[in-house]
Amino acid sequence: MKKILIAGAGGFIGGHLVSHFLKEKNYNLVCVDIKPIEFWFQSYDNLENYSLDLKDYNNCLKVTKGVEHVFNFACNMGGMGFIENNKAECMLSVLINTNLLRAIVENKCKKYFFSSSACVYNASKQKSTFISGLKETDAYPADPEDGYGWEKIFSERMCRHFTEDFGIETRIARYHNIFGPSGTFDGGREKAPAALCRKIIQAKKKNSKYIDVWGDGEQTRSFLYIDDCIKGTLDVFNHTKHDIFNIGSEEQVSINQMIEIIEEIANFKVKKNYQLDKPKGVRGRSSDNSYVTKKIGWKSKNTLKEGLTKTYKWIEEKINSGSNIDKFCRGR
């Protein structure tokens, strides 16, 4: 059986990929995350689990030994509120990618997947709402999101040069706002879909009509459900050569429109308290999937409402039960 390392296995996307591979039942999995294992979003006792800091090269050497394939989701990140206020911390994640690539060369691993982000895209192309979808070529000339985006675009180049110089097979996906169950929904690192579901659930429980909304609510994004992300990740990984692909939805909505969808799911109307001094990010961002569809045939399947319905129900269940909730509401 192939031995696979999943870095960031205690996080949102990494945890879902672990769950996917367990259903396949023909892989030996090595799971690593900086968090204590009891705070992993999804964890399984029968696997080779490590709580380690992969910014340390020796830790990277340890966990890549005997491994054929590496998936790297490990990074210090969160929603806009986190990445706007923790730029240095976000950029230090470059050490994870760098040291994993060095260890892969040393331990002769065969293939490496790097999870990049739509935050690499040139800011000048994202100044208005409901923009045309961003193509993979729109990352250059480089002017990414400060901090987090620069780390991602530098790490993309590192992958390219390790392929050129050392023959390591590398694959890269640029994720566009992935959401779904079994992820953080409070504590400062949550992203808009989970945050807004939580706010409306809590408002409904308290019969309070008001929720806080960062900015004027007119900023636009596309959001991709986690099941589509996992399928896209595997399709990119199984592609025949080094390349970079968008993995996102082309269904672009404003934050106000997303709130309306969640109101319908909740059967509860709210009033919005717009906080114009809060971090808002770029004015508009969405994915153009024409290249990934042409090259590897991947398309997203879940609509935003379908994904939000599943996410809302999962968060509501967690809040109402109060069971095992702390790990989804931490600042780290």
Using DSSP's 3-state secondary structure scheme, residue 226 falls into helix
Which residue would you say has higher pLDDT here, 170 or 78? 170
Q: Is 243 exposed, middle or buried (0-12, 13-18, 19+ CB in 10 A)?
A: middle
- The answer to whether 116 and 156 have CB atoms below 8 angstroms apart is yes
- The answer to whether 37 and 51 have CB atoms below 8 angstroms apart is yes
Does 332 have pLDDT greater than 60? no
**Residue 193 one-letter amino acid:** P
User: Look-up: residue for tokens 């992820």?
Assistant: 183
Residue 302: which H helix or E strand, with range? Answer: none
pLDDT for 237 equals 97
* Phi, psi dihedral angles at 122 (to 5 degrees): -60, 125
In this prediction, what percent of the chain has a pLDDT beyond 70? 99
Does 266 have pLDDT greater than 90? yes
pLDDT for 312 equals 98
pLDDT for 149 equals 97
| pLDDT tens digit sequence for 100-152 | 999 999 999 999 999 999 999 999 999 999 999 999 999 999 999 999 999 99
Identify which of 108, 125, 121, 261 has the alpha carbon closest to the alpha carbon of residue 196. 261
| 148: annotated active-site residue | yes
Q: Cα 257–263–269 angle (5° rounding)?
A: 110
- The answer to whether 247 and 175 have CB atoms below 8 angstroms apart is yes
Domains assigned to the chain: 2-178+224-247 (3.40.50.720), 179-221+252-286+302-328 (3.90.25.10)
How sure is the predictor about 182, in pLDDT bands with cuts at 50, 70 and 90? very high
pLDDT for 80 equals 87
How sure is the predictor about 329, in pLDDT bands with cuts at 50, 70 and 90? confident
Does 325 have pLDDT greater than 80? no
How sure is the predictor about 323, in pLDDT bands with cuts at 50, 70 and 90? confident
pLDDT for 322 equals 81
Does 158 have pLDDT greater than 90? yes
Average pLDDT, whole number, for the chain? 96
Does 331 have pLDDT greater than 80? no
The percent helix, strand, coil of the chain (3-state, each to 5) is 45, 20, 40
Distance in angstroms (rounded) separating the CA atoms of residues 190 and 294 = 32
Distance in angstroms (rounded) separating the CA atoms of residues 91 and 33 = 18
Both tokens of 192, joined, read 């808009």
Residue 64: which H helix or E strand, with range? Answer: helix 57-64
Distance in angstroms (rounded) separating the CA atoms of residues 17 and 275 = 35
Mean pLDDT of 249-265: 98
Quote the distance between the C-alpha of residue 331 and its chain's center.
Answer: 16
Does 214 have pLDDT greater than 90? yes
How sure is the predictor about 246, in pLDDT bands with cuts at 50, 70 and 90? very high
Could you tell me the sign of the dihedral formed by the alpha carbons of 284, 175, 120, 8, in that order?
positive
pTM of the model: 0.96
pLDDT for 207 equals 92
The catalytic residue among 50, 112, 121, 148 is 148
Mean pLDDT of 177-189: 95
Identify which of 219, 188, 223 has the alpha carbon closest to the alpha carbon of residue 311. 223
Both tokens of 214, joined, read 């960062």
Both tokens of 130, joined, read 């409901």
How sure is the predictor about 213, in pLDDT bands with cuts at 50, 70 and 90? very high
Distance in angstroms (rounded) separating the CA atoms of residues 17 and 164 = 28
| pLDDT tens digit sequence for 47-81 | 999 999 999 999 999 999 999 999 999 999 888 88
